[in-house]
Amino acid sequence: MADYLTFALVAPIASFGAIAVGERRSGWDRPARSAVLGLIGACLGLEREDDAAQAALATGYGLALLCHAPGRLLADYHTAQMPSAARGRRFATRAEELAQPGLNTVLSRRDYRSGAWHLGALWPRDPAPRWSLAEIAEAMRCPGFVTYLGRKSCPLGLPLAPELIAAADAPAALVQRHEAGPEARLRALDGWLRDLPAERLTAPVVTLDASDADAIPADDSRRRWIELRRDQPRSRRCWQFDLREELVLQLAAP
């Protein structure tokens, strides 16, 4: 048995961005590891320029997610003005950029999720972590920076409600939180699920690093597969992320 810090990731509008290229900013149906660790870093009051603290958070903790509901896909179209590209030209501020003559209008699309509902479980990988789970839980109750789920326009719909759970492994802790945690008493908020098309309601899944799968019994009968995601923080200062193998476990349908 080990202790896991469980918490809620629920928002009326969320953004789980994927690799952004060009005018289309697509998104995943569940949070990225980098996004959740970024949220925890915001709770702890970490600056992006604090490389040592960011590295300790990125490498020193395991993270698992229970994806209860991905939410409806919502596309938002943005228009922005910008000058024509020119080699070697940089602007110190947005105001300086807008002051240039001959501005062009650019249309871009950003994907959001409406009604996203997920749970997270965090645990230290090292015997002497930089922050204890109790310290992180307290930071979640009184965050140092504003918390949001993806973009600043996506505030949380429910408190993170951190709760320490002793369990055999991270999936077991998440299932326990899902069945008996604070959110289990808020079934009235689940009404929007009944309005979704049936094909959007899939069985919940639990995701975690493939490198952390050793803690899961080998005779586990749940369907599992590996996906590649570029969401392991390398440098918050430079906004760089590495590829990561993510293990996905299929749970029983609700």
DSSP 96: H
Question: What is the tens place of the pLDDT at every residue in 32-57?
Answer: 999 999 999 999 999 999 999 999 99
Q: According to the model, what pLDDT value does residue 189 have?
A: 52
- Indicate whether 82 belongs to any domain: no
Residues 209-221 have a mean pLDDT of: 75
Which residue, 195, 208, 131, 120, is CA-closest to 156?
Answer: 120
Q: According to the model, what pLDDT value does residue 216 have?
A: 73
Residues 182-200 have a mean pLDDT of: 55
| Confidence band for 220, pLDDT divided at 50, 70 and 90 | low
CA separation for the pair 36, 9 (Å, rounded)? 9
Phi, psi of 3 (to 5 degrees): -90, 140
- Indicate whether 81 belongs to any domain: no
Which CATH number belongs to the domain containing residue 55 in this structure? 3.30.70.2660
Residues 2-18 have a mean pLDDT of: 92
- Indicate whether 105 belongs to any domain: no
Indicate the residue type of 107. Answer: L
Residue 128: burial class (beta carbons within 10 Å; 0-12, 13-18, 19+) = exposed
Residues 188-226: b if buried by 16+ CB within 10 A, e if exposed: eeeeebeeeeeeeeeebbbbbbbebbeebeeeeeeeeee
Which residue, 169, 209, 182, 177, is CA-closest to 3?
Answer: 169
Residue of higher predicted confidence among 210 and 85: 210
Question: What is the tens place of the pLDDT at every residue in 103-150?
Answer: 888 888 888 999 899 999 999 998 999 999 999 999 999 999 999 999
- Indicate whether 110 belongs to any domain: no
- Indicate whether 56 belongs to any domain: yes
- Indicate whether 85 belongs to any domain: no
Residue of higher predicted confidence among 88 and 206: 206
Question: What is the tens place of the pLDDT at every residue in 150-167?
Answer: 989 999 999 999 999 999
Domain count, the chain: 1
23 is in which domain, residue-wise? 2-71+116-250
Residue of higher predicted confidence among 207 and 254: 207
Residue 122: burial class (beta carbons within 10 Å; 0-12, 13-18, 19+) = buried
- Indicate whether 57 belongs to any domain: yes
- Indicate whether 90 belongs to any domain: no
Q: According to the model, what pLDDT value does residue 82 have?
A: 83
- Does pLDDT of 191 surpass 60? no
Q: According to the model, what pLDDT value does residue 196 have?
A: 45
Question: What is the tens place of the pLDDT at every residue in 56-113?
Answer: 999 999 999 999 888 888 888 888 888 887 888 888 898 988 888 888 888 888 889 9
